[in-house]
């Protein structure tokens, strides 16, 4: 017998779980499935920067109090280039801030909220395909950990299943979306050591980009620009620290044992469509941004805010207008974030084969940002996040 619900959500990442939580507050029932286990979801370290609007949604909707108590409010970042650091004061420029609160902590809070509310949340269930997109009762065909078929029939199916989405093709067809691959990647490490800096440092050095960040009181997250073909195991720890030190001249790094390392490819993607009939895409399933602007998880939240309102109107009032406009509405912010992420990336990274002219032009661009109130405000506004559509 198929499971019947109002909204079937594929993926228990930030997008899927938040959507289910916000729908629940309107009395709209949903079923969320995820192929991974709860432990895996709650321990995978990924994003860390939450825009102010994301924090307001999480705390204001009762999804997370801990974001305010355990998260760290950051009122600025440092841009470093030409041997000097320049603070971008977010609150002074635009009266807003960001919070450092790891994505897996957000997920722990959302999972706890869903289970406390008695919602149907199934781990170890993998969606294989979606059928009936153009009907009023689309269906998800999935398989549980024991290999049994699970069929979910709903008013609306939401693909919140990340960058390798199986739902995407149902929505976009062969038409796909706009794609760009960058000629570099980030080598990321997690290490056990206290923070080297109170605020994040984004550094443009002659050898390439580096980011100094953290994920908790005793854990630091650091990245440096590398070739996309780099083998994460190829460097000794000593060599990793040597590279990082050379990328942030003038900063003393607190060094400690490296317990995770990965190479993160840089890609941009935006699906041409985020809805087909009664099937919708949100979050990384619909778009990918390079991580420089810290926009990925925040964009997932922004999509969900727009979609919640559209589903409320559709499922409670029978009004299809917001749902019909969902793709166009959501994509406006997606492209702003895509531009911001591309801009931060191009301003801070060294392009392979860059000329002397390119290098000096880049420093000129950075100076024009840090030495102008309008430049600092432009960066602060994009980084802390434009107001969410309500
Ligand atoms: C190293 C790293 C650092 C990052 N840093 C930042 C940052 O600082 N700020 C920021 O905003 N963003 C950052 N991001 C991006 C951010 O993590 C993603 O944008 C965010 O996770 C997207 O959320 P989502 O819910 O759309 O997708 P995901 O988090 O990918 O969740 C999708 C879920 O769907 C499940 N799933 C997939 N396929 C299926 C299937 N067939 N059936 C059932 N379930 C399925 C997956 O198991 C997963 O749990 C970073 C990403 C990485 C990798």
Instruction: Tell me the mean pLDDT in the region 349-361.
Output: 95
| DSSP secondary structure letter of residue 138 | -
Nearest CA among 283, 384, 377, 386 for reference residue 52: 384
Question: To test the ligand 1 pocket, which listed residue (10, 12, 13, 38) has its Cβ within 8 A of the most ligand atoms?
Answer: 13
- pLDDT at site 175: 75
Q: Summarize pLDDT for 177-235 with one digit per residue, the tens.
A: 999 999 999 999 999 999 999 999 999 999 999 999 998 889 999 999 999 999 999 99
In 3D space, the residue among 163, 157, 155, 162 whose CA is nearest the CA of residue 142 turns out to be 157
Q: Length of the chain, please? A: 390
Task: Tokens for 26, please give them.
Answer: 């309107």
- Nearest residue (by CA) to ligand 1, atom 37, is 161
CA torsion, ordered 335, 339, 342, 347, to nearest 10 deg:
-170
What does the pLDDT read at residue 390? 62
pLDDT at 332 over 90: yes
Mean pLDDT of the chain: 96
Q: By C-alpha distance, which of 47, 15, 42, 49 is closest to 286?
A: 15
Residue 13 Cβ < 6 Å to ligand 1: yes
d(CA 31, CA 148) in angstroms, rounded, equals 17
284 lines ligand 1 (CB under 6 A): yes
pLDDT at residue 370, rounded to an integer = 98
Q: Distance from first CA to last CA of the chain, Å, rounded?
A: 37
Distance CA 327, CA 334 (A): 10
CATH code for residues 3-72+99-178+267-351: 3.50.50.60
Q: Which ligand 1 atom lies nearest to the CA of residue 167?
A: 41
Q: For 134-146, write each residue's pLDDT tens digit.
A: 999 999 999 999 9
pLDDT on residue 1:
86
Cβ(74) – ligand 1 distance below 6 Å: no
Report the predicted TM-score, pTM, of the whole model to 2 decimal places.
Answer: 0.96
Beta-carbon contacts of 174 under 8 Å, excluding residues fewer than 6 positions away, are: none
- The residues, ordered by sequence, that sit 6+ positions from 329 with a Cβ below 8 Å of its Cβ are 306, 322, 389
- Closest residue by CA, ligand 1 atom 27: 162
pLDDT, one tens digit per residue, over 10-64 is 999 999 999 999 999 999 999 999 999 999 999 998 889 999 999 999 999 999 9
Residue 302 predicted with pLDDT over 80: yes
- Nearest ligand 1 atom, CA 283: 26
CB-ligand 1 contact for 14 (6 Å cutoff) = yes
The predicted pLDDT at position 196 comes to 96
- β-strands 156-159, 279-281 pairing: parallel
pLDDT band at 331, cuts 50/70/90?
very high
**Residue 102 Cβ < 6 Å to ligand 1:** no
235 is catalytic: no
pLDDT value at residue 45:
85
| Mutational test site, ligand 1, from 8, 9, 10, 11, max ligand atoms within 8 Å of CB | 11
Torsion over CA of 95, 100, 102 and 107, rounded to 10 degrees?
-30
Report the pLDDT value the prediction gives residue 174, as an integer from 0 to 100.
Answer: 78
Q: Which entry of 14, 101, 202, 349 is annotated as an active-site residue?
A: 202
Can 108 be counted among the known catalytic residues? Answer: no
Token look-up 């009939």 returns 277
- Closest of 98, 100, 76, 99 to residue 88, by C-alpha: 76
With a pLDDT cut of 90, the percent of the chain lying above it is: 96
pLDDT single digits (tens) 73-86: 999 999 999 999 99
Q: Which atom of ligand 1 is nearest to the CA of 297?
A: 11
Catalytic choice (14, 21, 74, 349): 74
Q: Average pLDDT, stretch 313-324?
A: 98
Residue nearest to atom 33 of ligand 1 (CA): 11
Kindly give the distance from the C-alpha atom of residue 252 to the centroid of ligand 1, in angstroms, as a whole number.
Answer: 32
Q: Contact at 8 Å (CB) between 99 and 75?
A: no
287 part of the active site: no
Average pLDDT over residues 357-385: 97
Instruction: Look up 291 and say whether it is catalytic.
Output: yes
- 74 a catalytic residue: yes
Whether residue 386 has pLDDT greater than 80: yes
Task: Please choose, from the candidates 200, 207, 205, the residue with its C-alpha nearest in 3D space to the C-alpha of residue 81.
Answer: 205
Instruction: Indicate which atom in ligand 1 lies nearest the CA of residue 41.
Output: 49
CA dist 119 and 104 (Å) reads: 20
């Amino acid at each position: 017998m198929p499971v019947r619900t109002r909204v079937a959500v594929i993926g228990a990442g930030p997008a899927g779980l938040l959507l289910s939580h916000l729908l629940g507050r309107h009395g709209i029932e949903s079923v969320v499935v995820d192929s991974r286990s709860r432990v895996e979801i709650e321990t995978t370290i990924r994003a860390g920067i939450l825009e102010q609007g994301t924090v307001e949604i999480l705390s204001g909707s009762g999804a997370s109090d801990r974001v305010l108590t355990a998260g760290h409010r950051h009122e600025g970042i440092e841009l470093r280039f030409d041997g000097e650091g320049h603070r971008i004061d977010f609150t002074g420029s635009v009266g807003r801030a960001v919070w450092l609160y790891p994505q897996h902590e957000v997920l722990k809070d959302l999972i706890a909220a869903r289970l406390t509310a008695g919602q149907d949340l199934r781990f170890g269930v993998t969606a294989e395909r979606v059928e009936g997109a153009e009907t009023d009762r689309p269906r998800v065909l999935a398989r549980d950990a024991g290999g049994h078929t699970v069929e979910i029939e709903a008013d609306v199916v939401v693909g919140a299943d990340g960058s390798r989405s199986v739902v995407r093709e149902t929505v976009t067809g062969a038409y796909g979306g706009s794609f760009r691959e960058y000629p570099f990647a980030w080598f990321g490490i997690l290490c056990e050591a206290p923070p080297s800096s109170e605020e994040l440092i984004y550094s443009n050095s002659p050898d390439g980009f580096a980011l100094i960040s953290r994920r908790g009181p005793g854990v630091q997250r650091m990245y440096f620009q590398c070739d996309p073909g780099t083998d994460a195991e190829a460097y000794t720890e000593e060599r990793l620290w040597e590279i990082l030190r050379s990328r942030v001249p003038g900063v003393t790094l607190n060094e400690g044992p490296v317990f995770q390392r990965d190479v993160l490819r840089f890609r941009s993607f935006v699906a041409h469509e985020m809805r087909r009939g009664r099937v919708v895409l949100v979050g990384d399933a619909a778009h990918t941004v390079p991580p420089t602007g810290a926009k990925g998880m925040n964009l997932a939240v922004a999509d969900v805010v727009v979609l919640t309102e559209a589903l409320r109107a559709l499922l409670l009032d029978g009004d299809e207008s917001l749902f019909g406009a969902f793709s166009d509405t959501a994509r406006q912010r997606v492209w702003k974030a895509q531009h911001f992420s591309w801009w931060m990336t191009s301003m801070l990274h060294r392009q392979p084969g860059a000329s002397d002219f390119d290098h000096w032009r880049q420093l000129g661009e950075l100076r024009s940002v840090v030495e102008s109130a309008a430049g600092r405000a432009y960066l602060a506004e994009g980084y802390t996040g434009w107001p969410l559509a309500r």
